[in-house]
Structure formats: C-alpha cells, structure tokens
Amino acid sequence: MNHPQIAAFARLAKENTPPTRAIEGEKTKISRTMHGFAFDAVHDEIVVPSPLTQAILVFRGGANGEDAPARVIQGPNTQILGTAYCGIDKISVDPANNEILLPIGTGGFGCGGQGTFPFGILVFDRMANGDVAPKRILRGPDTQIRGAGAVAVDAVRNLLIVNSGGAMLIFDRTASGNAKPKAVIQGPKSLMAGISSFQVYPQKGLIVAGCTGGSVCAWSIEDTGDVPPRWRIPVQQLTGYVASGIALDPVHKEIMLSAAGQRVPPPNGIMNTIITFSWPEIFE
C-alpha cells in the first residue's frame, strides 16, 4: 500500500533508482493528499501542507526517516480549513520576506467553495509555530480568486502570483483583503489553464507553468491579457505524460516535471514519474 512520504533522489537518477532518503512515518505528521511542497533553499527547510490535519509542517532540509517537524502551524486561530478534497494541498515559501503562503479552498470534489471553505490565500510568518493567526489574508470577490490552485512570489518585483480558474492573477506582494489584481493573464492565445503548480523565475521575470495541450509554457511576468507564452515545451506530445508539478534548476538550465499518469494514462503504462528537460532559453 502506498504511504505518504517525501522522497529525495539524486539529480541524475534514472529508471528504478531508489531514493537517497525519505521523510515518512507517524512522527512526521505527513498525511495523504498533499500535492505539493516547498523548499526554502535560503534557510534549508522543507515546508509541507497537511490537509488531513489542517496544518503546515516545517522540516529541516536534511530531515530523514521519522524525523518530527521543527515547527507545526495548526489550530483554530490559523484559519487553515479544508478536507482531503478541498484546499490546503499546495504551499509556497518566500524566503526573501520570511513568509509562508497557503492557498485555501481550491475547489476540488467535495469542496464547499465560497461557503464552508472560502477561497483565498493565507500568509504566515516563516517562523510561526503553533496556533497563530495569519499575517495577511487575500480573499474576496474583487480578487477574482475562484479556487487558488497554486501561488508564488516574485520577491525582486514585489509581486504575488495566483493561478485561479484558468487565469494567472498578479497582485502586489503585500495585497490583502478584497484587493484587485494588478494584471491578469488569461485567454485562448495565452494557453493559460487551471494549474496545479507553477514556478516564478525572478532573475528573468518569468512565470513557468503547465498550459493547454499538455504543454509547459513560460510567460513574462510583465504580461497581461490574452498574450501568447514566450516559450513552450509540448510535454505530452513528446513523452505521453501531462506534468502536474514543476521545479526549476537554473544551475544546470533544466526543468523537472512530476507526472502521476492518472488523469491521462501514459502510453507505456508506467504511472508516477519525474521528467527532466534541458531548457536553456528561459535561463539565458
């Protein structure tokens, strides 16, 4: 039976390579239905959402085996609300500004949406621990957040980016309450889709995310409206997989994609996989 874990592999690992280590076990408090985690390279920490316990778990970067979290954000004051099928399954960290960002109410099956689990973004201090209130909450009809699939920060330009309802919403980083986005990337030419995860590359001012047609696209963070992506990799056409998770490796000029193979079964029948592409164009 599959059990929840975070597994670490060598960067050049290939087929059937075992992990170098894994965070797993009861003491870790890791639960199923987490669909993304964040790595804080500045402070060497791993930040994980725990949907079943309605919590945020923070591990040291070298955690292994049944290591307990260094910090746990959990309790009624946190306003972290969700179920196994509704929200808090993805997370982002902003090490430059010492903040953790958690989308809530992602609108999946069984989600109460604007009722029981209202959509929005909770922002916590990076060092928060226990039953602490968010520093800020971005939520309301003017935000256009209708299910926040993922969130990221461009600390260079002081921007907060949210994917919601097939649109990329761009806010001032410290936006709170019922704030309107500064810009919206959306429309058929943009190839923008509902995205489970994306990455921002501030050094080049890019947003890198899955897009329509089973591809991965890169847009300028300065874009707005129905504008086409600057670059595109037709991942499904090349591999048979549709990416669900994205990580950037600027040092080696590569992009790594996770693919579960459940919604779109791959031709080879092999399910969970990691795919790596060389993509020097977006890093140069």
* pLDDT score at 262: 62
Which portions of the chain are predicted below pLDDT 50?
1, 106-117
Residues 11 and 249 sit within 8 Å (Cβ to Cβ): yes
* pLDDT score at 49: 87
The strand pair at 92-94 and 71-74 is best described as unpaired
* pLDDT score at 263: 67
Residue type, position 133, single letter? A
pLDDT digits (tens, 9 = 90+) for 230-251: 999 999 999 988 888 888 999 9
**What DSSP element (H or E) covers 23?**
strand 21-24
How big is the CA angle at 19 (ends 217 and 218), to the nearest 5 degrees?
5
* pLDDT score at 199: 92
* pLDDT score at 34: 61
What is the spatial distance between Cα 79 and Cα 75, in angstroms, rounded to a whole number?
8
Q: Domains of the chain: which residue ranges?
A: 20-139, 180-284
* pLDDT score at 250: 93
What is the spatial distance between Cα 174 and Cα 60, in angstroms, rounded to a whole number?
27
What is the DSSP code (8-state) at residue 256?
E
Does the pTM exceed 0.75? yes
3-state secondary structure of 5: strand
53-84 burial string, b = 16+ CB within 10 Å, else e? ebbbbbbeeebeeebebebbbbeeebbbbbbe
pLDDT digits (tens, 9 = 90+) for 19-40: 777 777 778 777 766 667 788 8
